[in-house]
């Protein structure tokens, strides 16, 4: 137990630490981020996105009339 007292003397009394207030602020920010992520997930699950059909696919056109993708080999 006496060696703990010597360790306590080595601690700088002028040293600034975040302490309890820092922990409370960090915990509040973590809870806020968690709540925002949960809310975003809920809103994203409500989105009902239906892509309209491609009019070129219905007309029966061939792939020759469609433009080539960038970087694709031609020929």
Compute φ and ψ for 35, nearest 5 degrees. Answer: -65, -40
Higher pLDDT, 58 or 14: 14
Q: What is the mean pLDDT of the chain?
A: 78
Q: Name the residue among 66, 40, 44, 39 with its Cα closest to residue 55.
A: 66
pTM over 0.75: no
The reported pLDDT for the residue numbered 61 is: 54
End-to-end CA distance of the chain: 84
Place of tokens 């306590």: 8
The reported pLDDT for the residue numbered 7 is: 60
The reported pLDDT for the residue numbered 55 is: 83
Evaluate if residue 50 carries a pLDDT over 60. yes
Evaluate if residue 31 carries a pLDDT over 90. yes
């Amino acid at each position: 137990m006496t060696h703990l007292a010597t360790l306590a003397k080595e601690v700088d009394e002028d040293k600034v630490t975040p302490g309890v207030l820092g922990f409370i602020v960090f915990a509040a920010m973590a809870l806020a981020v968690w709540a925002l992520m949960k809310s975003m997930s809920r809103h994203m699950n409500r989105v009902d996105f239906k892509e309209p059909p491609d009019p070129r696919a219905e007309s029966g056109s061939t792939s020759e009339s469609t433009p080539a993708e960038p970087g694709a080999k031609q020929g």
